[in-house]
Amino acid sequence: MSSKPGEQMPSSKDAKPLPAHVAIIMDGNGRWARKRLLSRVRGHERGTETVRTIVKASREIGIRYLTLYAFSTENWQRPKAEVTALMALLKNFLKSEKQEMIDQNIRLNTIGDTRKLPDGVRKILDQTLTATAGNTGLTLTLALSYGGRTELVNMVQEIAGAVSRGETDVNAISESLIAAALDTRGIPDPDIMIRTSGEMRISNFLLWQLAYTELFFTDTLWPDFSRGEFEQILQAYQNRDRRYGKVSER
């Protein structure tokens, strides 16, 4: 079912378009490690390899936007050693991928409160954001210290502030005004949301943006998630009927 690496996804005349935006909850690193009697951090290390694989696949297939849930607001409550290791991994990932992103025309973007990240991570993050800001290929958004509810609180504060200063009229508050006050401003809502590891929940990810997203859940643990399975999900998406509450056109 899956095409060979580098090959375009098959597209017949009837096939629906590829998703413009794929969002992924990368879950299951800890369980992957536990099954092997390894430390959770080893699972996160292997998960980073899957990130590389899926970013490359997305770029080659022609996905425009890829959003990866890398660290939630709630993940700060994990043991300090695990948080420290995750931050170190993130820093190393950015260091090793910065040139690749520049060369591959990838634009890095973030959502979430990145001010909470350690200085060393913020430094390489800011450098990579600046270095790739003009790129026009894949937009890779990392959700870092991200939580959908915090994002909504920030949005309400921003709009309420504008209203209280008399800059915005209450009646002018619209869906598009709200969308423009979210971290994801300028990025279309996800067409697909994939969660690995068998958990059937959203875990505070993109609460506003997922309203009409097609959801895919797989039992595969993130370190085992492959390009082949990713392409199978993209094909399954192309066969889904997105009705948006209307009557099917098929």
Residues 21 and 14: their CA atoms lie apart, in Å, by 20
Residue 7 contact among Mg ion, ligand IPE, none, beta carbon within 5 to 8 Å by kind: none
Q: How far is CA 162 from CA 39, 156, 177, 207, in A?
A: 48, 10, 11, 23
One residue of 26, 27, 142, 191 binding Mg ion per CB under 5 A? 27
User: Tokens representing 101?
Assistant: 């992103």
Pick between residue 65 and residue 146 the one whose CB is nearest to Mg ion.
Answer: 146
Residues 3 and 10: their CA atoms lie apart, in Å, by 8
Pick between residue 155 and residue 194 the one whose CB is nearest to ligand IPE.
Answer: 194
Q: Is 239 a catalytic residue?
A: no
189 binds Mg ion (CB under 5 A): no
Pair 192, 233: CB distance under 8 Å: yes
> CB of 122: closest distance to ligand IPE in angstroms?
18
Pick between residue 22 and residue 26 the one whose CB is nearest to Mg ion.
Answer: 26
Pick between residue 135 and residue 226 the one whose CB is nearest to ligand IPE.
Answer: 226
Residue 182 contact among Mg ion, ligand IPE, none, beta carbon within 5 to 8 Å by kind: none
Number of helices and strands (H, E) in the chain? 7, 6
53: closest CA among 214, 183, 196, 174? 196
Instruction: Name the residues that contact ligand IPE, by CB under 6 A.
Output: 25-31, 69-72, 75, 86, 197, 199, 201, 203
Q: Is 204 a catalytic residue?
A: no
> CB of 197: closest distance to ligand IPE in angstroms?
6
Which residue is it, tokens 């192309």?
A: 238
Q: Per DSSP, what are the bridge partners of residue 195?
A: 25, 217
Contact residues for Mg ion, defined by CB under 5 A: 27
Catalytic residue list: 27, 75
